[in-house]
Structure 1
Amino acid sequence: MRAFLGRTRVRLTATYSALFIVLAAAVSTAFYVAYARSQYSSTDTEVAERVAALVNGLETDAIPISFDHKDTIPDATQGQVSAMLLATDGTVRDTIGAKPVTPALARSLRRLHPTVANPLIETTSDAGGRVRILAKPVDGPTYHFLVVGSHPMTQIQTALDQAKLLLLVVVVCMVAIASVLGYWLAGRALRPVRMIAGAARAISEHDLHRRIAIDLPPDELGELAETFNAMLARLEAGFSTLQRFTADAAHELRAPLAMIRAELEVSLERVRSVTDYQATHRLVLTEVERMARLADQLLLLARADAGSLAPRFQRVDLSDLLEETVDRWRLLAGSRGVRVALEPPPPGAMWADPELLRRLVDNLLDNAVRHSPEGEAVTVQAACADGRWRLEVADAGPGVPDAIRDRLFQRFTRADPARGRDTGGAGLGLALCAVIADLHGGSVVLAPPNGPPSGAHFVVDLAADPREAAV
C-alpha cells in the first residue's frame, strides 16, 4: 500500500484532488453565503414592507389605538409576517398575523432602544422557533408604541439546509469525477516517462546504439528524452573507447610477451654458451623494460581518468629543466645521427609538477627523435608572455598524415601503424602529453604544416601558475 501511495501518479492525483477540493469548497461556500444573504434580504424586505404598512395604517383616532384590520393591509394576514403593537408600559395593544412574537420577547426588544432611523433587525429564538424580527418605534403627540414584525425562519432554514446538502453532494461527485479524470491525465502525462524507463531497462552494454524514439513536444519530457539519448551516446562512446583501449593494451603487451617466450624457448632447447645466454637475457630485459614503460603509461592514464592524478606543484625553473632534459636526449639522438638544438629560453620560473613536466618534454623529444631522419635536427624553444609559457618542439621528419591529425592525441594512435615496436612507441606518449598539459592549465596541439618538408611541430601552452587557473 505504501508503495502504491508513493507513486508519482498517485501523488499528482492526490495533489490535484486536494486543490480541487479547496477550490470547490471555496466556491460552494461563496454560493451558500450569497444564497443565504439573498434569503435573509428577501425576508427583511417583506417584514419591513409589512411593518411600514401597519404603521401607516394605525387607527390613532380609535381608543385604544390598534392596527387597521380592514383594508390597510389586506394581505398581511395571508402572508407569513406577523406583528405586535407594544405600549410603553409593556402591555400588548394589538397583534396581527398567525404567529406574532411572545410578549416577553417584545418587551426584551424595547430594552435595546431601537429608533426610527435604526430599527432593530435580527434573528432570534422564540416559543415557536427561530424568527426574523424587526422592531421599530412609533411616536405620536400622545402615544409611544413599539411595532415588532416577525417572520418564521422554518422554511428559510429548510431551504438553506437543502441547499447545503445539495452543494455537498455536488462537491463530492465533482471531486470524485475530478480525481478519476486527474488519475487518467496523470497516467497519460507520465506515459512517456514509463516508456523511457522501459527503454532504459531494455538497453544493455551490448546495444548502447539504441535510442529513445518517442515523438515528444519540446517540453520538459522532450528535454528528458534528449538528455537520456545524449547520455546513451556518451556511454556508447565511453564503452567503445574502453573496448578499443583494452584491445590495444592487450595487443601491445602480447608482442613483448611473445618475444620473451620465443627467446626463452629457443635458449632452453639445448645448452648454449654464456655469450648466447647473455644475448637472450639482454633481449628479455629490453622487452621487460618496454612492458614496464607501457604499464607505467597505462597507470598514469588510468589515474588521470579516475581524477586521482594530482600534480604536486612547486616552483620550477623552466630554463634549467629544459637544459637538463635536452642534455639527456643529445646522447641518444646522436647515436641516431640526429641533433637536438635548444634555443636559450628567457629566464623565468613557473609552478608545475617537475616529474610530470619532465615526462611531457621527454615524450615530445622521444617522438621527434624517432621520426627525424639522420642528419636532421630537433629544435626546442620556449617563451613566456601574459602569464603563460609557450613550449615548442619541432622536427624535420615526414610529418603527420592528415587522416590522423584529429585523433593524434588519442590513445594508441600511431602516425605509421606499420612501424615496428623497436622504432615506434605504443601510441600513448602524446595522449599523456595532453593529460599533463591539461593538469597544468594548458594544452598541447599540432601546429599546421608550413610547406615541405612539413615535419611535426608541437606547441604546448601552459599557465605560469596553474593554481590560479584552477581557482
Structure 2
Amino acid sequence: MVSLLLSLGLSFTENSLGDHLMDETLYAEIDDYISRRSRNQNSLPPATASIHGYLLTQGQSNENIPPELLSLKGGIHQLTLNDTPYRVAVVDKNGERYFMLFNENRQNHREKTFTIYLVSGVLIMILISVCVGWWLAGRVVAPIEELARRVFRASPGEDTETIAQGFSSDEIGQLAQVFSSYLKRMRAFTDRERNFTSDVSHELRTPLAIVQGVVELMEEDNQLERKQQERIAKIGRVNSEMVNLTTALLLMSREYTDEAVVQACDVCEVVSVAVETNRYLLSEKTSVNLVCRAHPNIGAERTLLNIVVANLIRNAFTHTPSGTVSITVEDNGLIVSDTGTGIRGEEIDKIFQRHFTGTGSTGSGIGLSLVKRICDRYGWRTIIDSTEGQGTSVQLIFSSIPAKNPALTLP
C-alpha cells in the first residue's frame, strides 16, 4: 500500500513538472520571439521539431495559421493537429497574437517510459516486501508451529518436559511451560482414574466369582423349592450382569496401553444369548420375534458388544407390557423394535445422557450412557424412532471400516 501511494505521488509529480516545464518553455519562446521582432520586424517564429510558432497581426493574411488556433483565447491549451498532440500558449501583445506550440509526442513517450520504470520498481519492491515479510513471518511463527506440533503429538504416557524443551524464556516459552504443566496434570489425573477403575474392577471380580460359584452350587440342589430356585436364578443373572459390567470397566481402563483386545464376534449369537438371558423380563402378553437375515462378524470386545445389545433388548422387554418385540439382524447392524409404551418426544435427545431416567423408568440412567460410550468407541451409530404409546425402534449400525485399535480409542 505504501509503495502504491508513493508511486502514485511520483507519477502525479512527474506529470505536473512536465506540464510546468512545457509552459515555461512556451512562454520563454514567445518572449524570445517578441524580443527578436522588436529588433527585426521580419524575424520568423521558431519552427523546430518540438516548438512551432505562429503570428497573427492586423492586415496580415492568416492562411498559414491552422484554423484551430484562431478560435483560441489567451492562455494554455491542449490541441491535436494532424493526429499530433500539442500544448499551445496564446499571448496577445501590442495588438498582435502569438501562438506557440509544443509537440508533446516526445514528452508523452518520456512519461510512458517513466511510468513503466515506476510500475516495474513498485512491483519489484512489492515482491521484495512480500518475500521479506514471508521470511520474517516464518521466523516469528516457527516457534508457534513447533509448539503446536509438540502439543498435537503429545500423549499422557510420554515425558512432559519435552514439550517446553528448547524454547527461550519469551512468551512462546512461557506458553510451552503452561502446556507442559497442563499435560502433566492431565497425565496424573488419567493415571488416577485408570488405576481406580482397574483396582475397583479387580477387587469386585473376586467376590463376584465367589457369588457365582455359590449360585451354581445352589442351582444343582434339587431339594430347593420353585420360589427359591427363581430367587437363586435372579441372583445369578444379576451377578452375571455385574461381572460383565466390571469387565467392561476394566477394558475401559486399558485405553492408554498398547494391548488391543479385539475379537471376531458373531452378532446373531450375541443377540440370541441376550434374548435368552433377559427373557425373564417378558410378560405373558409379550412375544419375541428374532430374525437373522445375515450373520455379520465384527471386530470388537465381546463383553462390550454384549452390553450394548443386552441394554437395547432389556429396555425393549421392560417397556413392552404387551405386544411384540422384533429383533432383526442385518448385514451391518441390527434393529430392535417394540410395540410398548414408547418415549416422549422431549426425552429422545436425553436418553443417552448419564443418569437420565425417562418417565416410567426404574433404572439408574447408566445403561444407555454406557451404550453411547461404547458406540462412540467403535464408531457405531444408534438411530432411535419412537412414538409415545405406540412403541420404539432402535437401529444399531456397525462401522463399515473398523477403527484402528478400537478398544483403545477414547469415547
- TM bucket (normalised to shorter chain) is 0.3 to 0.5
- TM-score when scaled to structure 1? 0.42
- TM-score when scaled to structure 2? 0.47
